[in-house]
């Protein structure tokens, strides 16, 4: 009887333990791990099936599991820095535990692995972009003329622009995309701003922070870039409009420029049929947004 009680308690305790699985999302990373003898999987498809079966099993037992992106190169560096043998399952366990606190993770909530994998990759790209942008903003330092922190001043300016853009937008749900051209590649960030029946706008705080940072980077570095807004609401024609980055502000695009951007194939230059139920518009007037006192604006 006592033995049974102990087993029952262990099963209860097992449900209290949160776990993280480091996932090899693509064939290339999977092949890289096969060089370790202790990694016994030999087929990526079969490996993914087993991972999904494990996730379902843990969920059925009431256990919470997060999924992290397992990068073989980062794993090798982690083992080298920590003095661990990479060809040891316990080393992979320790690396996965590290990912749970520092890397991008997503909770498993019963969704198919085919849906979870791209979402996990997107989350990893999003985090890498955020880290890259914040590093660049920090490196800008202070203005030699006024001593203002350039990155912080640009972030304040970007925040004011975003608030004004949302305040002047049509009612409904809004989807914004900001792109900033740079080296080695263009940085793109999106923001969803949904409006409820009472007219209140709901933002994801992390999305808003990342979006504002990308816009701030474009402002601070005077890089080519732009911002596009799409508004949608039931029984109403959708609307698309935008601005180009100009100096420390935004310059409205004409309806024709917005149409050309959306209805031209980037690679071939051929025209693409415009979307049905969508108007290509001139953006609303944002007004004269004054710089905050002491702002870096020369």
Helix (H) or strand (E) holding 206: helix 205-221
For 124-141, write each residue's pLDDT tens digit: 888 888 888 999 999 988
Task: Report percent pLDDT > 90 for the chain.
Answer: 50
Cβ contact 93:21 at 8 Å: no
Q: Is residue 18 scored above 80 in pLDDT?
A: no
Helix (H) or strand (E) holding 49: helix 44-60
The SS3 of residue 104 is coil
The SS3 of residue 229 is strand
The pTM (predicted TM-score) of the whole model is: 0.76
pLDDT at 272: 76
Cβ contact 158:166 at 8 Å: no
| φ, ψ at 252 (rounded to 5°) | -60, 140
Q: Is residue 295 scored above 80 in pLDDT?
A: no
pLDDT at 178: 92
For 191-239, write each residue's pLDDT tens digit: 998 877 777 888 888 899 999 999 999 999 999 999 999 998 887 888 9
């Amino acid at each position: 009887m006592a033995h049974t009680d102990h087993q029952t308690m262990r099963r209860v305790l097992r449900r209290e333990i949160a776990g993280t699985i480091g996932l090899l999302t693509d064939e290339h990373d999977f092949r890289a791990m096969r060089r370790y003898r202790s990694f016994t999987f030999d087929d990526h498809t079969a490996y993914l099936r087993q991972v999904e079966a494990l996730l379902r099993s843990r969920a059925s037992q009431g256990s919470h599991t997060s999924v992290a992106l397992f990068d073989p190169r980062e794993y090798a560096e982690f083992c080298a820095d920590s003095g661990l043998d990479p060809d040891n399952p316990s080393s992979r366990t320790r690396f996965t535990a590290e990912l749970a606190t520092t890397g991008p993770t997503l909770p498993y909530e019963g969704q198919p692995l085919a849906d979870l994998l791209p979402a996990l990759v997107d989350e990893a790209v999003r985090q890498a972009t955020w880290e890259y942008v914040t590093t660049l903003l920090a490196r800008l330092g202070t203005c030699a003329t006024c001593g203002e922190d350039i990155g912080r001043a640009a972030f304040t300016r970007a925040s004011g622009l975003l608030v004004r853009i949302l305040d002047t937008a049509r009612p409904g749900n809004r989807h914004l995309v900001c792109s900033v051209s740079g080296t080695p590649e263009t940085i793109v960030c999106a923001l969803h701003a949904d409006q409820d029946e009472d007219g209140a706008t709901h933002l994801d705080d992390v999305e808003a922070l990342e979006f504002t940072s990308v816009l701030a980077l474009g402002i601070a570095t005077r890089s080519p870039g732009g911002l596009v807004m799409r508004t949608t609401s039931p029984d109403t024609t959708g609307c698309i409009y935008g601005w180009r980055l100009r100096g420390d502000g935004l310059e409205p695009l004409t309806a024709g420029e917005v149409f050309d951007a959306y209805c031209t194939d980037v690679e071939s230059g051929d025209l693409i049929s415009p979307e049905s139920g969508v108007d290509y518009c001139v953006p609303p007037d944002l007004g004269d947004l004054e710089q905050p006192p002491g702002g870096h604006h020369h």
